[in-house]
Amino acid sequence: MALNATFVASIKHSGKASGNKHSDGHGLYLHVTTTGKYWRMGYRFDGKQKTLALGVYPATSLANARDGRTKARSLLAEGVDPSLAKRLEKVAKKQAGGNTFEAIALEWHCTKVSGWSITHAETTMERMKKNVLPWIGKRPLTSIEAPEVLSTLRRIESRGAIDTTHRVKSIISNVFRYAIATGRAVRNPASDVGVALKTTVKGHHPAITEPKRFAQMLRDIDVYSGSIITRAALKIHALTFQRPNEVSDMEWSEVDLEAGVWVIPAVRMKGNLERKKHGAKHTVPLSTQAVAVLKDLYPLTGHSIKVFPSERGQGRSISENTARQALRSMGYLDHVPHGFRASARTLIREALHYDTEVIERQLSHGSDEELGGAYDRTQFMLERAKMMQSWSDYLDELRTGAKVIPLRGVA
């Protein structure tokens, strides 16, 4: 006689050591023991009597157990052993779990990281963790199609981060390409979504190059009411015009305040891994004004590794975004930390008339090897030191309005 839900719920173990079996027909029965109620199905395959486990009550209901019996009988009709099919299904699920997008993405990252700079490796991982893995990380990679990739990228695009959207698309595409190369995928759905994304507009970093506005910005930085550390960082940006990450990650061990020099190691410079490992360091002459800013900051951060430590601690430095937001808070939407480089290059050339090659070298465009090591240590270092002091003096004059000279072509 077939079982019913009331009987299944109320039946108790009789105390029999081997338990009690209550049949539902066609091989399905409820095995009641001291430890619980188990759904089982007895069947014969290849001349042997076998037992198939179909679940534990109440997690598996009578209806669920009957569905399992129906599927098992269908497999038997096709000449397939249900127990073997179940084991193969478990293996397939386990393999699928190891072939999630996240698992393959981390494997790809681990494979490539030895050829990347530390910064690039960390940035790539951060972009995956923030923009990709929360949404498709746990999904089996082979089940992800173009619309799901596009939906993931739309979340970034909706923030207005168009460039980041395309960079993340490239990361996703590379993960799929790696999966294809290692035999775990046959196609790359990320290659299909580019036409649906907004186009990245290439352009220069926003920068103020008009003397009067630049002078006002310098005055506003002087009275910036935010963090003392951020204000000092903005001043060093203006006085040295090095790359934002080079300024924000500046370490006290790189600075010789008595000699007035800041030596940026190759590992922190822009370039590929080979240049970071074996390239030349970049020496930045510090003007008396830059030294004064750093000496004034030293009592506050001199105990730290970083010149501009983050409030988050843990050896971190402030980010480029910290300086960017400070400028925005002062109303400068048309100037970013990287823009100090363009400002300096323009104003030094137009107002101070230094040779372009000297300015470019100070911007660390080119390398010591290209210019010649001995030549750089003599004439160029002297010229650059003189230029950096002239630049700082010029900024002082701009602040007071004593030397605001209109540039050619600027009304």
Name the residues annotated as catalytic. 243, 270, 338, 341, 365, 375
- Helix and strand numbers, DSSP H then E, in the chain: 19, 7
Query: Which residues, 6+ apart, have CB-to-CB distance to 400 below 8 Å?
Result: none
Structure tokens at 289: 């004004």
State how far Cα 283 lies from the chain centre: 30
**Cα distance between residue 28 and residue 32, in whole Å:** 13
Verify cis geometry, omega within 30 degrees of 0, for the bond prior to 140. no
CB 370 within 8 A of CB 327: no
Long-range Cβ contacts of 66-75 (<8 Å, 24+ apart): 66/24, 66/28, 68/39, 68/41, 69/24, 69/26, 69/27, 69/28, 69/41, 72/27, 72/41, 72/43, 73/26, 73/27
CB 363 within 8 A of CB 345: yes
